[in-house]
Amino acid sequence: MALILLGLILWTWPHLMKEYTPGLRAGLSDGTAKGLVAVSAVVAIVLMVLGYRSADTIVVYAPPAWGLHLNNLLMLFAVGLFGGSHSSGHLKQYVRHPMFAGTILWGVSHLLVRGDAASILLWGGMILWAVASWIVTNRRNPGYVRPTSGTVKGDVILVVATVVAYIVIVLIHALIGPNPLPM
């Protein structure tokens, strides 16, 4: 579980360093800062995956039987929100931070099917990061103006990309586990 925690720290700090360690961030060029965030993110993901896969199973709660079905539905929306953050469709007119919203939905959906301590640390940590980032971003940009444009073509591309990405994610999970499909 220490690797999960270290991964969460390496994920969170670079993403929030502009807000919480501005002196350090100010001393870096944009390219260096972006490189630091990218390298930290990759190392963080590796640490979280290794930590999660190697963690002892300490059951905290029994997930509900219906959790798997709701997880699969929520994950479809989470994938759509992730994609929507880069879409030219209408989604950004309705969701200010689709990437953070997708991360929160992703974490909640996984906690519906995983009740062990490592899952609570990993998914709960990602939810906390997304909520904190949402708050920090809103404070950093108080004069936000909701986008008023979007294209139907962007919406169609988002829907197709979401379905394709979702199918790929399900297939990868089915191959390497845990299988998200009800048996």
Residue pLDDT, tens place only, 140-177: 888 888 888 889 999 999 999 999 999 999 999 888 87
**Rounded CA gap, 118 and 4, in Å?**
8
Phi, psi of 59 (to 5 degrees): -75, 125
Domain ranges of the chain: 1-55, 57-183
27-49 pLDDT tens trace = 778 788 778 888 989 999 999 99
What does the pLDDT average to over 57-77? 95
- Residue 92 banded pLDDT, cuts 50, 70, 90: confident
- Alpha-carbon distance of 128 to 34, in angstroms, equals 22
**Eight-class DSSP state of 93:** G
pTM: 0.88
